[in-house]
Amino acid sequence: MVTVTVNTVQDEIAAVEISGHADYAEHGQDLVCAGVSSIGVGILNALEELAEGECSLQMDSGFISIHVLNRHNETAQLILKVMLIQFQTMTETYKKYIQIQQMEVAS
C-alpha cells in the first residue's frame, strides 16, 4: 500500500512523505504506482521550478520526502494542496492501495 503522510501546522502543509508500493498489479503494469509516481515527481519538479529554495526535497525508490522550509510561501502551499487533492481523488477509486494520513503537528 502507498501511504501519503501530510503534516500540517495551523492549516499549512509542513511536510509530506510518500512511501510504499501499491501492489495493484505486477511491476511495470501497476497503474496506481504509476499515478502516484507521476504526481510525486510532477510536484517535486513544480516545487524546484516555482518555489526554489522553499522546500527540502528527497526522492528514492518507493519514497518521496518534502519538508517545507518556509511554510508561509504561498506558491509552495498551493502546489502541495494541489498534490493533496490529486491523491484524494485517487483514493476515491483505489482506497485499497493508497491511504492518506493527515496530522496536525506542533510548529
Whether 107 shows a pLDDT value over 80: the answer reads no
Whether 99 shows a pLDDT value over 80: the answer reads yes
pLDDT of residue 31: 95
Proportion of the chain above pLDDT 70, given as a percent:
100
Inside any domain, residue 107: no
The residue to which cell 500500500 is assigned: 1
Query: Which structural domain range is residue 79 located in?
Result: 9-102
- Given the residues 27, 33, 55, 72, the one annotated as active site: 33
Is the full-model pTM beyond 0.85? yes
Inside any domain, residue 3: no
pLDDT of residue 28: 86
Question: Is 33 annotated as catalytic?
Answer: yes
Count of domains forming the chain: 1
Question: Is 27 annotated as catalytic?
Answer: no
Q: What CATH number is attached to the domain comprising 49?
A: 3.30.70.1490
Q: What is the mean pLDDT of residues 43-61?
A: 95
Q: What is the mean pLDDT of residues 76-86?
A: 98
